[in-house]
Amino acid sequence: MLRDHPTTGATSITFIEPHCPPLYERDTPAHDRYGRRIDYLRVSLTDRCNMRCVYCMPADGMQFLPPPDLLSNQELILVLSAAAAAGFRKIRLTGGEPTLRHEIVELVRAIKAIPGIEQIAMTTNALRLGRLAAPLKAAGLDRVNISIDSLDARKFRQITRGGSLDDVWAGVWAADEAGLHPIKLNAVVVRGMNDDELIRLAALTTHYSWDLRFIEVMPLTGVAGLAEEGVISSTELIVRIAAHFGQLESYGQGSSDPARRYRIPGAPGTLGFISAVTDPFCATCNRMRLTAEGRMHLCLLRDDEMDLRAAVRAGASQDEITQLIRHAVHLKPWGHGLPEGVLPTLRGMSQIGG
C-alpha cells in the first residue's frame, strides 16, 4: 500500500502483510519495469559513524536509531537470503560506518555462506580497518572502497570533523596487504573545500595500482546547501587533471558501473568519475539499498521505500520476503528527479550509505 511519510509528505511504499501471493516467477532474476536487471544490494548496517563528514551529516542534531530498531543479524541474514533468491548477486556493506556493527566479522562470514551471493564489498572510512582488514578478508570480504577526501591531515580533520588521516592510511595499507583488491579510494570533491587537492589526489594513481574515484556531492537531507554551492562537474575535473598530466586514456563506462574510467598515461592505477548530479547513469542502474532498519530504498535520490522489517517481524517466510523484494524491484523508479527540482527529504547520506 502507499502512504505519506508523517513528517515530510514523501511517498513511502510499505508492505506489512506478509501473507501475500507470489507476484513473479520464483526462478526469474529480478528486473524492474524498465527491463533493468537489478542484482546489486547496498546494505546499511548502521546509521552511526565515527566521523561527521561535512557532505554527509549536519554538524548538530543527528539522532541515531536505537538498537532494537535495527535488523538483528538473524533478521538481516533472512532478508539477504531472500534477496539472493530474487537474484541479487553482489552485496556492498555500508553505513554510517559498517565496521561499527557488532560482530562485523561473523556477519560477513554468514553473508558469504548465503547461496547465490557472489561478491561482498564494503565502503568504509577505514578508521578501524587497520585491525579488521585481515579478519574480514578471511571471513569472505572481497574488496573495499575507502573514503579519503584530503591528503592534508589538518584539512582532513576539518572535513571529517575530527577524523585521523594517519588511521585511514593505516587502514588503506592493511586492506592492501590483506588482499582486499582492487582498492578503491573515494573522494567527494567540493568547490572551495578540497578541489585544490585534485591533482595531488589524482597523482596517487601514478604511484599505486589503486582506483581513485571522484564523486559529485549530492543534495541529500542535512547537506543540500553545500551541494548547491559546491558541485563540480566531472567534466571540469577531467579537464583540470588532463591540463596537468596530459590527455587521459579513456576506458569508457561498464554496463552497470556508475564511474567513467580513465588513466593518466603510464599510471598503474585508474581514475573514475561518478556524476550522479550532472551526468546521471540511471539507464544502467542495477542497484537497490537496504536501510539499517530494514527498508528497501528504491532510489538514492528519492524517498520511496518498502518496509521489510515489518514483514519479517510479522513472521513472513523467506519465500514471502523474496516476493516482496521482487515487487520492490518492479517499483524502482527510472531515475532521480533533480532536473525537475525534486529533492530527497526523508534520509541523509549516513542513513543510506551512498
Higher pLDDT, 20 or 66: 66
Rg (CA), the chain: 20
Position 1 scores a pLDDT of 31
- pLDDT value for 20: 45
Instruction: With a cut of 90, say whether residue 217 has pLDDT above it.
Output: no
Partner residues linked to 144 by β-bridges = 122
pLDDT at 248: 97
Give 92: exposed, middle or buried? Use CB within 10 Å, 0-12, 13-18, 19+: buried
pLDDT of residue 57: 80
Q: For position 17, what pLDDT does the model report?
A: 42
Nearest Cα neighbor of 316 from 42, 28, 79, 14 is 79
Is the confidence at residue 14, as pLDDT, over 60?
no
* Residue 161: predicted pLDDT: 93
Flag whether pLDDT at 140 surpasses 50. yes
Say if residues 214 and 234 touch (Cβ distance below 8 Å). yes
Q: In terms of DSSP bridges, do strands 119-124 and 90-94 run parallel, antiparallel, or are they unpaired? A: parallel
Enumerate the H helices of the chain as residue ranges.
73-85, 104-112, 129-139, 153-160, 165-178, 198-202, 224-230, 234-245, 308-313, 318-330, 349-352
Q: What would the mean pLDDT of 120-145 be, rounded to a whole number?
A: 98
Q: Would you say residue 138 has pLDDT above 90?
A: yes
Would you give the distance in Å from CA 106 to the centre of its chain?
Answer: 21
**Residue scoring higher pLDDT (224 or 129):** 129
Strand pairing partners for 212? 185, 271
Q: What integer pLDDT is reported at residue 252 of this predicted model?
A: 75
Q: What mean pLDDT do residues 229-255 have?
A: 89
How long, in residues, is the chain?
354
% of the chain exceeding 90 in pLDDT: 65
pLDDT tens for 265-314 read: 999 999 999 887 777 778 888 999 999 999 999 887 777 889 999 999 99
Q: Pick the residue with more confidence: 98 or 191?
A: 98
Do the Cβ atoms of 251 and 238 come closer than 8 Å? no
Q: Please give the pLDDT value at position 18.
A: 39
Residue 185 pLDDT class (50, 70, 90 cuts)? very high
Q: Is the pLDDT of residue 222 over 60?
A: no
Checking if the pLDDT of 347 tops 70, the result is: no
Q: Could you state, in order of their start, the residue ranges of all structural domains in the chain? A: 2-352
pLDDT tens digits, one per residue of 125-137: 999 999 999 999 9
Query: Would you place residue 255 in the very low, low, confident or very high pLDDT band (cuts 50, 70, 90)?
Result: low
What mean pLDDT is predicted for residues 330-334? 89
pLDDT band at 238 (very low <50, low <70, confident <90, very high): very high
Residue-level pLDDT at 26: 52
Least confident of 51-60, 90-99, 149-158, 210-219: 51-60
Task: Show Cβ contacts of residue 9 under 8 Å, excluding neighbours closer than 6 positions.
Answer: none
- Domain 2-352, CATH: 3.20.20.70
> Mean of the per-residue pLDDT values for the chain?
86
